[in-house]
Amino acid sequence: MRSAVVRTDRYSRGAIAFHWIIAVAILLNLWLGIAHDSLPRDWRVMPVHKAVGITVLMLSLARLAWRLGHRPPPLPLALPHWEKLTAKAAHWTLYALTIVIPLTGWMMVSNGNPPRPLDWFGLFPIPYLPVSKAVSGVSHEAHEILGWALLVLVVLHILAALRHHLILRDSTLVRMLPILRAPTV
Ligand code: HEM
Ligand code: HEM
């Protein structure tokens, strides 16, 4: 008879879906944000960047709320204490940046000079946030600095995942991949 015990050494489908949808959207937005000056004008780069960013903000808020009620699988037992702490700190920093960066973008354009229209892929308008010119200016600075900080952290995050997979040869990467069905024992 099949046991009802579900192995806990994989991320759940919900965690995996949130992770990869948000990761792809963020990689796209880092590229659009950094390269926007050199990309063709008719791509409507910034309207897409803003709409993708607002979507990331909503998904990340939902993900955070969901994550607070769902524990991730434990890290491999063999991992030294400092590595577990570093991984936890990096993950919570990533959670924070995926919320703060789009929020600073939204605040920046809410009282920008000149004001720019804000909509979700041309389907419906997005309201401006009630912020002063000064706050919008600080948000602009923060958006750029934190955007670059996120890029650095994401590169380190990817290198860490590859180190686990290719050098330590543990299940860290595989348990976050959607291609394998969650095993049951
Ligand atoms: C996933 C979320 C987001 C990421 C990762 C992101 C990242 C970036 C990056 C890296 C830049 C380039 C910074 C630089 O020039 O050095 C940028 C620029 C920009 N972002 Fe975002 N962004 C996000 C969401 C948003 C949102 C939600 C808005 C507005 C609603 C927005 C508006 C802008 C604007 C207007 C610029 C151009 C700033 C300028 O050239 O002065 N971003 N973004
Ligand atoms: C680009 C934006 C990305 C962001 C914002 C991001 C964010 C995160 C966060 C917040 C977690 C922690 C999940 C939790 O335990 O609650 C996580 C886990 C993970 N991410 Fe990413 N990620 C990104 C891209 C990637 C990429 C491209 C890879 C693969 C090369 C990757 C591989 C992993 C793996 C393997 C884990 C599980 C780590 C563990 O079990 O300790 N991530 N990611």
pLDDT of residue 172: 92
How far is it, in rounded angstroms, from Cα 47 to Cα 66? 29
CB of 150 closer than 8 Å to CB of 30? yes
Q: Whose CA is nearest to atom 41 of ligand 1?
A: 140
| Residue 97 CA, closest ligand 2 atom number | 5
CB of 108 closer than 8 Å to CB of 144? no
175, two tokens: 């348990």
pLDDT of residue 2: 43
Question: Is the shortest distance between the CB of 102 and ligand 1 below 6 Å?
Answer: yes
**137-173 burial, b for 16+ CB within 10 Å, e for fewer?**
bebbebbbebbeebbeebeebeebeeebeeeeeeebe
Question: Is the shortest distance between the CB of 46 and ligand 1 below 6 Å?
Answer: yes
CB of 28 closer than 8 Å to CB of 52? yes
Domains and CATH numbers, the chain: 13-176 (1.20.950.20)
Q: Whose CA is nearest to atom 33 of ligand 1?
A: 105
Point out the ligand nearest to the CA of residue 86. 2
pLDDT of residue 66: 96
Question: Is the shortest distance between the CB of 103 and ligand 1 below 6 Å?
Answer: no
pLDDT of residue 23: 98
93 DSSP β-pair partners: none
Mean pLDDT per block of 10 residues along the chain (185 residues) reads: 52 96 98 97 94 98 96 87 96 98 97 88 97 96 98 98 95 88 48
| Residue 27 CA, closest ligand 2 atom number | 1
